[in-house]
Amino acid sequence: MVRAAILSAVGAPLEIAGIELPEPGPGRVRVRLAAAGVCHSDLSLSNGTMRIPLPAVLGHEGAGTVVSVGEGVTHVAPGDGVVLNWAPSCGTCPACLIGEVWLCDSALAGAAGIHARTVDGTELHPGLNVGAFAEETVVAANCVLPLPAGVPLADAALLGCAVLTGYGAVHHAARVREGESVVVLGVGGVGLAVLQSARIAGAGPVIAVDVSPEKEALARAAGATEYVVASDTTAKDIRRLTGGRGADVAIECVGRATTIRTAWDSTRRGGRTTVVGIGGKDQRVTFNALELFHWGRTLSGCVYGNSDPSKDLPVLAEHIRAGRFELSALVTERIALDGIPAAFENMLAGRGGRALVVF
């Protein structure tokens, strides 16, 4: 039996309880978690913004050590460090066949399966495939990626979502070029990863925007050259910092209609806005037909950084080993399982970067 954080119903408080995991069958892997990041997506699952089968063990950003493997698993072995991949690609659907593995038709199919049981026999689903808010988990073999050499195991949990998303948003979705100006709206875990990635891309100036003045030092340490406290004049402030034109690229990491609209308004004519934040279906963003023509801007969504983890992890590992990307700079709090609800409250209040559950 292992301890886990269980969501029984939308809006219900998380319950920390013992669960019983099966031994890994064919094509399955059992992993002892070293750490799991508390992502805004976990909050969105708990409050119903995103829907998954319930009850479920939440948590999708994690890393740990392989305990045992089932028949047919050859790419990892007991004792190996691994990063959990919550959105594995099937390799055969139309999206995968054209190389858009982040849009795989069956990426979340595993979330509908039975993952574990409580002590009273209640069946549990794995939140976003992997159920990382637990001391151990059992996942499909394609949900584990070998940990690259030289990457600290606990901090590697961040690679499973925040870092791949932030790095991919800059290098794949927005395709930031050296010397371009970038504005990043929202300085949470993903926003901090975006800032570091923009620095790696050679962008400048790199402008961070957040509602909290207290995050300025955190943002500047991650690569921001300018910091703006969000207000009704944010778009004007961005234009002032970019010679009156607006930023070449805006990356929105909040998922609210107002910040998406602000990101759009902050870019120059012909600029690019990439939306990373996950908003609710009631968040409506409006544009008029004339402005779409006049400004010639591009607005695009971004799923998991438009990344292919198998290809991007080795690249990120090299940046980490070379000191260009600092994983620990994203972490503002290290907590136990029972600290997750407080971490959710901090996210809602706009405090801190990434909280990391350390087992």
Helix/strand/coil (H/E/C) assignment for every residue in 67-104: EEECCCCCCCCCCCEEEECCCCCCCCCHHHHCCCHHHC
pLDDT at 41: 87
pLDDT at 347: 85
Ranges of H-type helices in 139-233: 162-168, 189-200, 216-222
Where residue 101 falls (left for φ over 0; alpha for ψ -120 to 50; beta otherwise) is alpha
Name residues of the chain where pLDDT drops below 70.
none
pLDDT at 111: 85
Does CATH number 3.40.50.720 belong to domain 166-303? yes
Over residues 34-47, the pLDDT tens digits come to 999 999 888 888 88
What residues pair up with 242 in beta bridges, in sequence order?
none
CATH number of this structure's domain 2-160+326-358, picked from the four choices 3.30.70.260, 3.30.360.10, 3.90.180.10, 3.40.50.10320:
3.90.180.10
What residues pair up with 247 in beta bridges, in sequence order?
267
Query: Which amino acid is located at 156 in the chain?
Result: A
From residue 50, give the alpha-carbon distance in Å to each of 22, 23, 167, 268, 284: 27, 29, 23, 32, 16
Choose among 167, 105, 198: nearest CA to 308.
167
CA pair distance 70, 182, nearest whole angstrom: 46
Pairing of strands 206-210, 182-185: parallel
In the chain, % of residues over pLDDT 70: 100
Residue extents of the structural domains in the chain: 2-160+326-358, 166-303
Give the global pTM.
0.94
pLDDT at 50: 83
